[in-house]
Structure formats: structure tokens, C-alpha cells
């Protein structure tokens, strides 16, 4: 086992030399630390920074966020992905206002009751915002520990999860837990990377069992790949007499909740995409035929989307359907919070 007492001092020295200068490292405000941690879940720092800054300009504190409409929060998140994070963020803000008088909780037990906050995120908030001993195990830290201790097998298995938390607990110091958390996250992000780790520059190389064994490129071991299904859909670029196109807001609950999209439906079993598009046109009260505009491919975490867009004309009755909708010009559509797959359809307009 690695020499635990030596790990933190080595990380502190390394972090002092090469630690990243990030916007959320200039504050102790729990709201801002929480926001950065949620945004950084499954998203790169480069992608997060502009969203973080724009989000704070729009929602500068937890009270403003809690008072906003959920749809407004989702729109501010548009393009960052994993939209349940935005809905949880909003729900947690309201919970803090209602149950904690607007003051962010300062214990692990209270933090993990908030929507979207798990054990690792709570640990980061405790350490960085409250300067308490908080233990973290995000993706970067997980990879560092797997290599440091040469953990075999699936790093996401229940047995591995239990062991990794034990190691994370044992390495986290009682003092300077904030610096430790940020240092080990930086190490995973910039040095102990998923591929081609820069071991010669790693402050922990002398203690790293994977490096000692020459197995740093093998670990963590890859998880067994799961089959990813492909969903076939058709989308309709439905134009009114003024040339505006119809968009609908997705229900708040569920995949991509609160974002806008062009009307879609799945391709009917045994039917062609064109036949399914004609049916969609009829369902929306449109008239005439449909004309294929183009094809979009988009990948989500659990399925691939094969989406064909068709052009059609609105009927005299206008919109026939349920839910929030709007008719927008091409210029307005480019400013709208369309989800990723449908943003790709803007090139067909």
C-alpha cells in the first residue's frame, strides 16, 4: 500500500507550483462552489468556464436562482448537456431557501439531502467552501487512486466503489482538505489523464503501483461495452405563411426537459421515414406533402439518434397539438434553447 502520510504533502507542493487558475478558485461562497461542482460533473473545465460565468451573471445568488422559473434555468443551461443537473440545481436552490433560510448546509448529512448532490459533491463543498474535512471521489480522483493502488477489475463495481472510498478517506488530511481536494482533482485532469498519463511529471510517481509495474496505460481497466440501441425519428420543419417555423418545448420531466425542439415522432414500425413524417404533418394540422431536408446523427449516453428532417406547410388552423409552442424566424431560432440534435437542423433552414 502507498505511504499515505506522504501523499498529501507531495500534492500540496505540486499544486502550489502548477495548480490551475480557475474562476471558482477565487471564492469561498458555497453557492459558487456548488454551481461549479455540478457543472463539472461529466463536463470539461474548458466547456464549463463560459457557462459558469454566464450563469452567475443571470443568477448571481441562490435566492435569485430559487425565484426563477425552472424553464429559465434550463434555458441558461442549454448546450451544457445532462439537463437533469439544471433541474436538480433549481430544486436544490428552492429547498435551501425553504428549509435552510437561504443558508447552504454545512454538514455532509444535510448536503446529501439536496437534489443532485451526492457524497463526492458534498465532500467538495465541505472542503472548498466550508474548509471542513470533506472527502471526494470524482472521475479524476477515481483514476488517480486506481493507478496509485493498481486496482484490478471494473472500477465502477460495488466492490471497487467501496475500496476506492476507503482509500479516499485514508488519504484525505485533516488540515487543508480544500487544497488537497483541488490538488488531486487537478492531478487527474492534467497529469494522470485517461490516456498517455504524464508520469515523469507526477508528484506521486514514486508511490504509484501502476507506474512501478509499468501498467499505467492499462489501468483503469475498461468496462465491458454495452450495446447501444439506435432510435429512428423524423422531425418536421413546419412553416407558416410568413415563413416562421414551429417549435415545441419538451416537458420539464424527462430527457432534455424544458428545452425546445422541432416537432418529432419515432418512425413507425414497418413504415418509411417519409410516411411517418406525413403522419406527423397531419397530426399537426398541416397540409400537402413533405420534402426531405436532411439527416442528423446524434449520440446520447444510452442511445444513438437517427433523425431525418422534412419540410412541410402549416394548415389554416395553425398549430394543432398540446403543450407550449411558438412560431419563430430563422434568426430567432438561432437564439433559442434548442437541444443539441435539433440545433444541427438549423443548417437545413
Q: Is 37 noted as a catalytic residue in this protein?
A: yes
Neighbouring-strand partners of residue 264: 235
> At a CB cut-off of 8 Å and minimum separation 6, what does 189 contact?
20, 45, 140
Closest CA to 327 of 233, 262, 278: 262
Strands 245-249 and 287-299: unpaired
Strands 304-313 and 287-299: antiparallel
Quick one: how far is CA 43 from the chain centroid? 5
Other residues' Cβ atoms within 10 Å of the Cβ of residue 291: 13
For residue 21, what are the CA distances in angstroms to 14, 136, 169, 175? Answer: 14, 20, 26, 22
Closest CA to 38 of 82, 73, 6, 3: 82
Answer for the pair 291, 310: CB distance below 8 angstroms, yes or no.
yes
Burial 305-329 (b: 16+ CB within 10 A, else e): bebbbbbbebbeeebeeeeebebbe
Question: Which residues are designated catalytic?
Answer: 37
Amino acid at each position: 500500500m502507498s505511504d499515505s502520510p506522504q501523499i498529501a504533502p507531495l500534492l500540496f507542493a505540486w499544486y502550489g507550483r502548477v495548480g490551475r487558475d480557475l474562476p471558482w478558485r477565487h471564492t469561498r461562497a458555497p453557492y459558487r462552489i456548488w454551481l461549479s461542482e455540478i457543472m463539472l460533473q461529466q463536463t470539461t473545465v474548458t466547456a464549463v468556464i463560459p457557462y459558469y460565468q454566464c450563469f452567475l451573471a443571470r443568477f448571481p445568488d441562490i435566492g435569485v436562482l430559487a425565484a426563477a422559473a425552472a424553464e429559465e434555468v434550463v434555458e441558461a443551461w442549454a448546450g451544457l448537456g445532462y439537463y437533469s443537473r439544471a433541474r436538480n440545481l433549481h430544486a436544490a436552490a428552492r429547498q435551501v431557501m425553504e428549509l435552510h433560510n437561504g443558508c447552504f448546509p454545512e454538514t455532509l448529512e444535510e448536503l446529501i439531502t439536496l437534489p443532485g448532490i451526492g457524497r463526492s459533491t458534498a465532500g467538495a463543498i465541505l472542503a472548498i467552501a466550508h474548509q471542513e474535512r470533506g472527502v471526494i471521489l470524482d472521475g479524476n480522483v477515481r483514476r488517480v487512486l486506481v493507478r496509485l493502488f493498481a486496482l484490478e477489475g471494473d472500477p465502477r463495481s460495488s466492490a471497487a466503489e467501496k475500496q476506492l472510498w476507503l482509500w479516499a478517506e485514508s488519504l484525505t488530511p485533516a488540515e487543508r482538505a480544500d487544497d488537497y481536494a483541488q490538488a488531486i482533482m487537478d492531478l487527474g485532469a492534467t497529469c494522470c489523464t485517461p490516456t498517455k498519463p504524464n508520469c515523469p511529471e507526477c508528484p506521486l510517481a514514486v508511490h504509484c503501483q501502476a507506474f512501478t509495474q509499468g501498467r499505467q496505460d492499462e489501468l483503469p481497466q475498461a468496462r465491458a461495452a454495452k450495446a447501444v440501441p439506435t432510435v429512428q425519428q423524423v422531425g418536421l420543419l413546419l412553416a407558416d405563411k410568413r415563413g416562421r417555423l414551429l417549435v415545441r418545448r419538451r416537458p420539464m420531466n424527462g430527457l432534455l426537459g424544458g428545452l425546445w425542439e422541432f416537432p418529432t415522432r419515432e418512425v413507425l414500425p414497418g413504415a418509411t421515414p417519409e410516411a411517418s413524417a406525413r403522419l406527423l404533418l397531419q397530426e399537426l394540422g398541416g397540409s400537402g406533402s413533405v420534402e426531405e431536408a436532411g439527416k442528423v446523427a446524434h449520440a446520447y449516453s444510452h442511445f444513438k439518434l437517427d433523425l431525418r428532417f422534412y419540410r412541410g406547410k402549416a394548415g389554416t388552423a395553425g398549430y394543432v397539438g398540446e403543450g407550449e409552442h411558438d412560431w419563430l424566424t430563422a434568426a430567432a431560432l438561432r437564439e433559442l434553447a434548442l437541444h443539441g440534435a435539433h440545433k444541427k437542423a438549423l443548417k437545413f433552414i
